[in-house]
Amino acid sequence: MPDSEATTPEPPDESKGLFERLRASPGRPLLLIAVGLILVILFLRGGCSGVDISEGQAVNTARAALAAHPEAFEPERTEAKVLRQGFPPTPMWVVVFTVPDPEGGPEQFLHHAAVWVHAGTGELRQVDVSEPDDG
């Protein structure tokens, strides 16, 4: 014989909105605020470009490094881009100096140099000078 005062358990009310559910558990809003602050700090720290050296400064540093290299040449074209390298990503200016091959296509060079300059400090990191293979 069922007891007339016994009630069946009600399913949880899933129609409540986000704010009602957040108020129901007192620790959850604090946890969400803490996670949000951590994410903001991480994005602000990583979101800064870290590029303190201008393109002109990077090109001047790279040009001086190329002139001091044993296989130096006088470039006809210069391009500079900021790339991120490594983990954590470090901003680097990559300055490319070229002398195009007049008889070749746009990707063929008589001389080619890539110079890596740290975009935050201006420190010279790497100088790669290459010439086409004879063959």
Residue 121 has a pLDDT of 92
Alpha helix (H) ranges present in the chain? Answer: 18-24, 27-47, 55-68
Which secondary structure element, helix H or strand E, spans residue 113, and what is its range?
A: strand 109-118
pLDDT attached to residue 3: 57
> Does residue 54 register a pLDDT over 50?
yes
Mean pLDDT on 126-134: 80
CA-CA distance, 87 to 71, in Å (whole number)? 31
Residue 83 has pLDDT above 70, yes or no: yes
pLDDT at 39: 77
Q: What is the C-alpha separation between 95 and 16, in angstroms, rounded?
A: 58
Q: Structure pTM?
A: 0.61
What was the pLDDT predicted at 45?
59
Higher local confidence (pLDDT), 57 or 11: 57
Q: Does domain 55-130 have CATH number 3.30.429?
A: no
Cβ-contact 112, 94 below 8 angstroms? no
